[in-house]
A and B are shown apart, each in its own frame.
Chain A
Amino acid sequence: EDQVTQSPEALRLQEGESSSLNCSYTVSGLRGLFWYRQDPGKGPEFLFTLYSAGEEKEKERLKATLTKKESFLHITAPKPEDSATYLCAVRGGYQKVTFGTGTKLQVIP
């Protein structure tokens, strides 16, 4: 069974304090790793898809990287508007997408 573990559960940063969120996974034949952002009471918003180890993608202050066992979401100089829950998900060889429980990020001005 595919598994996704995200850490930390919650992270509190000062504005401008860079950090990384971790997503560890076990999957039979990775067909894609996804990062989403979810604001309270709303559906997830798609951020990135990574397909193979060594791949990196960037969007504004966010950068996602992928190894064979984990993915990192690096946040550079975060702003209060980056506060949200960040979800990681994997798609395995059985086509199913499995989500982690997320990291709740709070950026304090």
Chain B
Amino acid sequence: GAVVSQHPSWVICKSGTSVKIECRSLDFQATTMFWYRQFPKQSLMLMATSNEGSKATYEQGVEKDKFLINHASLTLSTLTVTSAHPEDSSFYICSARKSAAGDSYEQYFGPGTRLTVT
């Protein structure tokens, strides 16, 4: 199997506070994890690529000081939204790529986290 979990599944926070979202690969090791953002009726937008033990690579236009990513182990990556604002409200989804998967680039997605900033 290839199961990815996210926690929390939904969170409501006040403007100006920080929120941490966890992404775990439950039954496989993932050297690479990805963080996406999805707006209603829109496609997945890649925010950053997270590699275990190294700094994340952020996509153009994504503020790395606002969206802090840590990939401390082969099964855990975290996304911290700092000083959240209402415009940060969105559906955040992580995915993981199996380690030692050759050239396979199949990603296994978590169930997503719905963030609402009031």
Contact between A49 and B106, CB atoms less than 8 A apart? yes
Q: Are B109 and A45 in contact (CB under 8 A)?
A: yes
A78 CB to nearest B CB, Å: 22
Q: Evaluate contact between B43 and A43: CB separation under 8 angstroms.
A: no
Shortest CB–CB separation between residue A12 and chain B, in angstroms?
Answer: 16
Chain A residue nearest in CB terms to B114: A41
B-side contacts of A41, CB under 8 Å? 91, 112, 114
- Whether the pair B112, A42 counts as a contact (CB closer than 8 A) is yes
Give the total of B residues in contact with A, Cβ under 8 Å.
Answer: 24
Are A49's CB and B112's CB within 8 A? no
In contact, B105 and A43 (Cβ under 8 angstroms): no
Which of the listed residues B6, B34, B95, B107 has the most CB atoms from chain A within 10 Å of its own CB?
A: B107
Kindly list the 9 A-B residue pairs having the minimum CB-CB distance in the complex, ordered from nearest: A43-B109, A101-B43, A99-B43, A99-B44, A44-B109, A43-B112, A43-B93, A43-B111, A91-B105
Of listed B41, B106, B112, residue having the most chain A CB within 10 A: B106
Q: List 8 contacting pairs A-B, 8 Å CB cutoff, sorted by A.
A: A34-B106, A34-B107, A41-B91, A44-B109, A87-B43, A97-B46, A97-B105, A101-B41
Give the size of the chain A interface in residues (CB under 8 angstroms). 20
- Interchain nearest-CB distance for B115 vs A (Å): 13
Given contacts A32-B105, A97-B46, A102-B43, contact A43 B114 (CB under 8 A): no
- By a CB distance below 8 angstroms, the chain A residues around B54 are none
Per DSSP, chain A at the interface is strand
A43 contacts B4, C-beta separation under 8 Å? yes
B-side binding surface: helix, strand, loop or mixed? strand
Q: Say yes or no for A96: interface residue by CB 8 A criterion.
A: yes
Contact residue among A42, A43, A96, A101 (Cβ-Cβ distance under 8 Å from B42):
A101
Q: List 4 other contacts, CB 8 Å, given A32-B105, A44-B44.
A: A43-B6, A43-B94, A46-B109, A97-B46
- Chain B residues 60-115 with CB under 8 Å of chain A are 91, 93-95, 103-112, 114
Are B95 and A43 neighbours in the complex by a CB distance under 8 Å?
yes
Question: Given that A43-B95, A101-B42 are contacting pairs, would A31 and B105 also be in contact in the complex, using a CB cutoff of 8 Å?
Answer: yes
Give, as a whole number of angstroms, the nearest-CB distance from B22 to chain A.
14
* B110 and chain A: residue at smallest CB distance: A43
